[in-house]
Structure 1
């Protein structure tokens, strides 16, 4: 499709409730909360700077996806396919393996939080119920209804997680000095991982499809899209910083060592024991909301990507706002829902986890380099190509993810 060049109409109005909310809801998952937990536990408030840098880098990637869609009327998969069938083939294979493993991981996160809230219900029921409920909500509702559902969850997360962080602020007095940005000895790789891990991965590429569902469909929406994407990463940053604050206030300097999603339950227990029992339940509700909205956003958004891949790879492309009605979209929602249950009940094959780790580490530099190529090409009208700022940010993100890829490969292989 040819690039849009008509910018004559007035800039559309922007609403806080937009596709950016879905980006935030999907990008802020248990992994982001756990990363904030570990950062605060180990280093106090020191690595808030790394979260802020990560937010800027992820914003640049997300803005690039959105700008490419609005400036060219092409989806990001069309752009990837234009680089060669190998590129879209890589994406298709990665999305299948990623969905198989991630579907199990995100269901487990939501189930862990729900089980901590209501332990009388067997854990396996949560494991089965969450992905099926997610599939029903995604397949049974149009975009507008889905956006409203996500908005409710975001409000719930703000009230519970941000509210819990505000409650611990009086506990920060003795450690406020740890907030001075620094790079403690031996923490370079950790800092890079925190920068690169904040705010989602493959799910960012779903942004253009949500723009299409919102009928944001021309270059006139680029300024609106930038405000929308900015709001997404502002929310993301607030949530991760809130976890650093809570973890630093309650755990830093205590000798306690917590990590992963089990550590989030332990943090909830600390909130209840040291401050007020209500805070335990409030935080667990926020933890569950973050996990379940990541599940919902993935089921909804990444299924567009897979359906688009099928259309492009089979030379039978479908318009972005019609992908939801394809068999490929439904297939991928079900792929995320049912096959991952095997990993819960049969165990995780080591070789699949290794391949998943390698391909996952490859995807982020792949996306950054793809955006650099596409947004500096003649596929995009000159007025909407990268300037110096976005070229610098995308180059920095590509280099960052290449370093993280090398580190991941050295660990896995």
Structure 2
């Protein structure tokens, strides 16, 4: 109990920050930018509370995933494959589902990540969005090919700082009604017709592949025991809160500038265009910079998370330099690049690929969330690190919400919503 009650000093926490910021780098992508922008433009500040709930749910689920990894020495996908059930057939089926859903879903999401980053960079530098698409994909590929977790973590951390700076600058420039912001951050309210976007706001933050990415990242850091779990909790709380802060900033900016004028948007690129006459060209450039950083970070984390999950589900080495690990990276990266090239070459929207990825997530999210909650209660493996009553209540709320979200995403993909 003495170890459990021990404290960790701030210097240690700040020095250790990383995996939580990688989670933020992953979930604040072009999809998040688009969803929060359109929500703020259409409903003003009213749906800020949905992001507050999303941050809470993400912290709860990510903490469980990372705690399982620290307690057992196994990342989530490996734990599912080897220890979820005493029946090996169930474990193999669960692992196969992870491989299929994460592999296919992340390849589809990668299309949106690369195109979003390219649109942001093209807004700033001009030339050709298709050119920037390839440049971004090549940079992300080189970064991941190094096989160095430390290099990837530092790169993503730097981009998260840039992204946050860009979105926060625009938020303060928009001069929002801070009283309304404070009220709606904690006051649940769903205007007529807004349920779909409420669930979309939750879905763009609570991302299933992040559960696999986070559990792998904490093991890369070498965190162990209660001290490691305490560091992990601070890291996750700080990192995910910052991701929520950036999402709030985007919605607040749209609510303060576009909503009063009745301007609605369909994409993050529209947001940058609409901001220019309202706040000036520099504000549009900052937003485009944030969009680029959001797309770039997600373009790195989607293949990384996919490779981790597939590699561990198949029982292959946990090594970023392993030939199969690199194979999964390249398959996801170039699937996104191929579809992204088609998007810009034909003038089509990447929305079809994104909707398909959301449908895959709709199937995967509730299944993984329930498996996660079940796994976190397996005392024979986690021992003193097993979920307590409070964690189970909080986790139950998050998992039930994930189930509702998953059903909604499937229905939307089938055209039934």
CA distance in 2, matches of 1:98, 1:116: 28
Structure 1 residues not aligned, in runs of 5+: 312-316
| 1:16-43 Cα shifts (integer Å, max 9, x gaps) | 5322111111221111111211221111
Residue 109 of structure 2 contacts residue 357 of structure 2 at CA under 8 Å; is this kept in 1? no
Residue 99 of structure 1 contacts residue 335 of structure 1 at CA under 8 Å; is this kept in 2? no
CA distance in 2, matches of 1:330, 1:6: 42
Residue 32 of structure 2 contacts residue 247 of structure 2 at CA under 8 Å; is this kept in 1? yes
TM-score, normalised by the number of residues in structure 1: 0.87
Query: Residue 181 of structure 1: CA displacement?
Result: 4.0
Query: Residue 243 of structure 1: CA displacement?
Result: 0.8
State the match for 1:61 in structure 2: 61
State the match for 1:377 in structure 2: 378
Alignment of 1:279-290 (within 5 A): 279-290=283-294
Residues 1:301 and 1:118: Cα distance change in structure 2 (over 3 Å) = same
CA distance in 1, matches of 2:351, 2:171: 38
State the match for 2:327 in structure 1: 331
State the match for 1:275 in structure 2: 279
State the match for 1:29 in structure 2: 29
State the match for 1:361 in structure 2: 362
State the match for 1:314 in structure 2: none
TM-score, normalised by the number of residues in structure 2: 0.87
State the match for 2:88 in structure 1: none
State the match for 2:152 in structure 1: 146
Alignment of 1:287-366 (within 5 A): 287-311=291-315, 317-318=316-317, 320=318, 323-346=319-342, 356-366=357-367
Residues 1:295 and 1:350: Cα distance change in structure 2 (over 3 Å) = closer
CA distance in 2, matches of 1:43, 1:237: 18
| 2:14 counterpart SS class | coil
State the match for 2:204 in structure 1: 197
Query: Residue 69 of structure 1: CA displacement?
Result: 0.6
CA distance in 2, matches of 1:172, 1:8: 43
CA distance in 1, matches of 2:29, 2:356: 22
| 2:244 counterpart SS class | helix
| 1:338 counterpart SS class | helix
State the match for 1:396 in structure 2: 397
| 1:302-346 Cα shifts (integer Å, max 9, x gaps) | 3222221222xxxxx53x4xx212112100111122233332345
Point out the more displaced range, 243-252 or 109-118: 109-118
Does 1:14 find its partner at 2:33?
no
Query: Residue 256 of structure 1: CA displacement?
Result: 1.6
Residue 203 of structure 1 contacts residue 302 of structure 1 at CA under 8 Å; is this kept in 2? no
Residue 9 of structure 1 contacts residue 220 of structure 1 at CA under 8 Å; is this kept in 2? no
Structure 2 residues not aligned, in runs of 5+: 85-90
Q: 2:254 aligns with which of 247, 260, 267?
A: 247
Alignment of 1:213-228 (within 5 A): 213-228=220-235
State the match for 2:245 in structure 1: 238
Point out the more displaced range, 284-293 or 14-23: 14-23
Residues 1:278 and 1:199: Cα distance change in structure 2 (over 3 Å) = farther
For this pair of structures, how many residues does the alignment match? 396
Does 1:40 find its partner at 2:40?
yes
Across the aligned residues of Structure 1 and Structure 2, the Cα RMSD in angstroms comes to: 2.8
